[in-house]
Every structure is written in C-alpha cells, then in structure tokens.
Structure 1
Amino acid sequence: MSTTWFADWFDSAYYHLLYNNRNEAEAQEFMRNLLAHLNLDKGSRLLDLACGKGRHSIYLHSQGYEVLGVDLAPESIAAANEQAQQGLSFAVHDMRAPLNMGQFDAVLNLFTSFGYFESEEEHLQTLKEVRNMLPKEGFFVMDFMNAHKVIQNLVLAEEKQVEDVLFHLRRYVENGYIVKDIRFEAEGQNFNFQERVRGFLLADLQALFAQAGLEILDQFGNYQLDPFSEESSNRLILIAKAC
C-alpha cells in the first residue's frame, strides 16, 4: 500500500509543534460523554485507530478499559509507548491492513483521522477492516470534521507563529479534498508539507459505512453529543454497530 503526505508529515516533530494547542480538557470531556453513551462494561477491549501519541488511549485506560492504540507514525508510537502498562499498549499499524490481534468491543477513530487516502477503495477497505475487528453489535465511533461547514468557512491563507517557527498556511479544495499547504523555515532549512483530507459529507460516509457492513446508530455534531447540523455543527460524530 502506498503512503503519501501523511507518512512523513505525521511523523515530523513540526506536525506536533503546529498542533501543540489541542484542548486536553475538551478531549477528556468528549471521552466521558462518549463512554456514558456507549455504556460499555469496564474491562471492555477498545482500539484507538490512528492514536497519535496516545492521549485518548491513555485516558480511556484510566477509566478502566483495556486499550490498544495503533498509528502509522513510528515516532508517535515511540512516544506513546512511554506510557504503556498492563492493559495499555501501542503498535505501528496502517489502518488499511488487517490487524490480526483479535476482536474489540469498540473501535474509535478520533480527531479527523480518516479521509487521507487517494482512492475510494482504500477508504472502504479501512472500514471493512474495522468491521472485521468487531463482533456483531460491536461499536465503531468516527469523529470527523463537518466538511460542509469547513469548506463554507475555509480560511484561504494564514500565518501562525508557534514558538520560534512561523508557519505559512494556504488552504483550498481540489478534486474533493480539502488541502492545506504548509511552508516554514526551521534550523536553517525550508520545509514544505501538505495535508489532503477527503471532504466526506454525511451522505458519503453513510454509503461507505453501509458497504462495509456498519449500521449507523447516531449522528452528533459536537463533543457534547448534540444533534448534527450540516450548517452549524463543528464535528460529524458517527456511532455505528457491526451488522
């Protein structure tokens, strides 16, 4: 399987620098609301798919769950593994491929960690692999951007100073993908990265989920789990079960 922009960018220290202001309190509030909604038994086995450095995995484990976090970026997994302990583990894994580590009571794909691939087939294959890891009635949670609102409110150009690095950001839509060009100078070198995320709308994801054998149960629009509105919601959170 080919890897493109995300293989290098997500494994870069500058990726973590650019996004170093992520709201941990908000992330934990989302996890609390989500766990209350799913009502999973303590000790349930959870997969954090595209876990990054493991912030959600670590919190979920603290709430009494057995958690495996996987991510394509070796540096992120190395950082996450510093927190590994009984019932909390991490591994390098490409979500398009079979994991072959048994089934999980729930699979979580959080913080817009989907839509990176070049073809519809790769996105569908990812969801089919999720379905293969779930028992019948097992849960899949996808926390995605509300692409409709993102596109309607796209900030075309922006500069962002983070510590001693000035990031130059340019955003546009191209062939169904929301693209962000990232340029900056650091340590005497010029860097250029690009993010490309497929702007999946609710109807697109509904079709993909159905093809993969995942039945959508709920659609939420924020981390407080309020109803989804295409015009006003910041997030598109889907809760599905294996069928």
Structure 2
Amino acid sequence: MKAWFEEHFQEDYLKVYDHRDEAKAAGELQSLMSYMPMRKGMKAVDLCCGNGRHARWLGRKGIDVTGIDLSPALLKKAIDLTNDLPVQYRRADIRTVELKQEFEAAFNVFTSFGYFLEDEENELVFQKAADALIPGGWFLFDYLNPAYVRENLVPFDESERDGMTVLQERRAGQDYVEKKITIRENGTERRYVERVKLYEQHQLRQMLQRYDLEPVYFFGDYSAAEYDNSRSPRQIFICRKKGEESFQ
C-alpha cells in the first residue's frame, strides 16, 4: 500500500493547488533571502521541491539549483515550466537520496516535512540537508506553527473550478493535522488524505542541532516577522551548518 504522499502528489494535486504559483513563491522567499548570502553561481539544493516554483525563483536570481522530489507528476510540471534557468531536477526519495557535500545553501520550504509516521524518518530531511551542505552553508527550513493551526483551522470548505468540485475537511490532533480531500468530476469521485505530523519549536531545534544545523534566525512568517507562538502562522528557521566558514 502506497503512503499518502505517493498517492496524492499527482495530477489532481496540481489542479487543487494551482493557486500556488510563481508570484506566491516570490512572496514566500523575497524577505527571508535577505538574511542569507546570495550570489550568482552559488549552488543550492531544494529538498522536496514539488513543481519547482521556489527552485525557479532562485534560478532567476542566478543560483544553480538542484530540485529533488519523489513525484513524477510534479517533476514533469517543474521541467515543463523551467526554461533557460540554471535549475535541474532529480527524482528521489528524500529518505534515501545520496547527496554530496557540495552545496552552499539548502531549502525545505512550504511544509515539505512531517509526512512520515516516525520522527526518525522525518529527521532524515535534516540529515540530508547537512549531508548536502559544505561547512558554513545555509539551510532555510519553513514549517507550520501547531498552535496557530489548531486555533485557525477551517474544518470544511467547498470550491468549484473548471467543472470540478473540491471538498476539503480538516482536523488537528495533538501531534498531527489531517486533511481529507474529495474531488467530484464528470460523475466520478476521488478521495485523498494529507496527514502531517506537528512539531513544536523546541523539538525542531533539537532535531536541527543533532545534524550540526545551528539556528541563526527564527521568524514567524514570510515577511520575516518576529515569532509569536499564538499568532505566527509559520516556524521559519535559517540555520548554518557548523564548520569553518567557506563563503560569505
């Protein structure tokens, strides 16, 4: 039996989340990147890159990006949208991908974390980031804030688009948030479940530091606002891999 993320991140995902586009990617990275050194020609890896919208934003800044994802459908979309940019894509499972210590920056953004049942498996994202980074390299990790999710969760919504009805039911437990998606189209019905494990700030800090990823900045949203546990929608860490500084 396939895991939920193997079932879900296919063509229907692209339809349901087509509002997550290039403009939103820019809004999610523009302010944060002022806290990380960026220069043309530097090498970066986007872990769990999806359809590549963040990788392409970085590529337009002249950064040489490798995007890694498991979904063939999302990678095909990424390739179709990537023209004349220094971005390449690689299909791999984040838990087992082999990465060389050659990147100056690594990214795991927009809740591309917490998909696995066991903490040890989720931590592998941090291990792979550390494996990929040169000493002194930077890691941007963007995750949801559990307290904000529980307080602001919309239990149900329904939308129509291009002859397709999308129903979304959400619930949050103590250590997870779950979304059930039902798609009705042309007399058929398709169902998907998204389930993401919730982690508090202190848990994430411990995980990051286990892999020598030292938090330098910590923000509560994409504008780089100060984190507030009850009001901030995100937990955004900008970390630096321990070791001798090799670039600025």
Normalised by the length of structure 1, the TM-score is: 0.92
- Cα distance per residue 1:64-112 (max 9 Å; x no partner): 1111111110111112123254631111121112333552101111111
- Aligned partners of 2:143, 2:152: CA distance in 1, in Å? 16
Partner of 1:5: 4
> Are 2:26 and 1:28 aligned?
yes
Q: Is the 8 A contact 2:101 2:134 kept in 1?
A: no
> Are 2:120 and 1:121 aligned?
yes
- Cα distance per residue 1:125-183 (max 9 Å; x no partner): 22112111111111111111122101112122222223322122211124611001111
The CA deviation at 1:189 is 2.0
Partner of 2:246: none
- Structural mapping, 1:1-243, within 5 Å: 4-11=3-10, 13-22=11-20, 24-82=22-80, 83=82, 85=84, 87-174=86-173, 176-243=175-242
- Aligned partners of 2:85, 2:18: CA distance in 1, in Å? 28
Identity %, equivalent residues: 29
Which segment drifts farther, 221-230 or 157-166?
A: 157-166
The CA deviation at 1:40 is 2.4
Total equivalences in the alignment: 241
- Aligned partners of 2:78, 2:24: CA distance in 1, in Å? 20
- Aligned partners of 2:28, 2:183: CA distance in 1, in Å? 32
Amino acid at match of 1:167: V
- Aligned partners of 2:32, 2:64: CA distance in 1, in Å? 16
- Aligned partners of 2:101, 2:136: CA distance in 1, in Å? 16
**Cα–Cα, structure 1 residues 227 and 3, in superposed 2: closer, same or farther, change >3 Å?**
farther
Amino acid at match of 1:18: V
- Aligned partners of 2:205, 2:99: CA distance in 1, in Å? 26
Q: Is the 8 A contact 1:143 1:235 kept in 2?
A: yes
SS of the equivalent of 1:136 reads strand
The CA deviation at 1:14 is 1.6
Q: Is the 8 A contact 1:146 1:236 kept in 2?
A: yes
SS of the equivalent of 1:28 reads helix
- Aligned partners of 1:167, 1:17: CA distance in 2, in Å? 10
Unmatched 5+ stretches in structure 2: 243-248
- Aligned partners of 2:66, 2:88: CA distance in 1, in Å? 5
Amino acid at match of 2:200: L
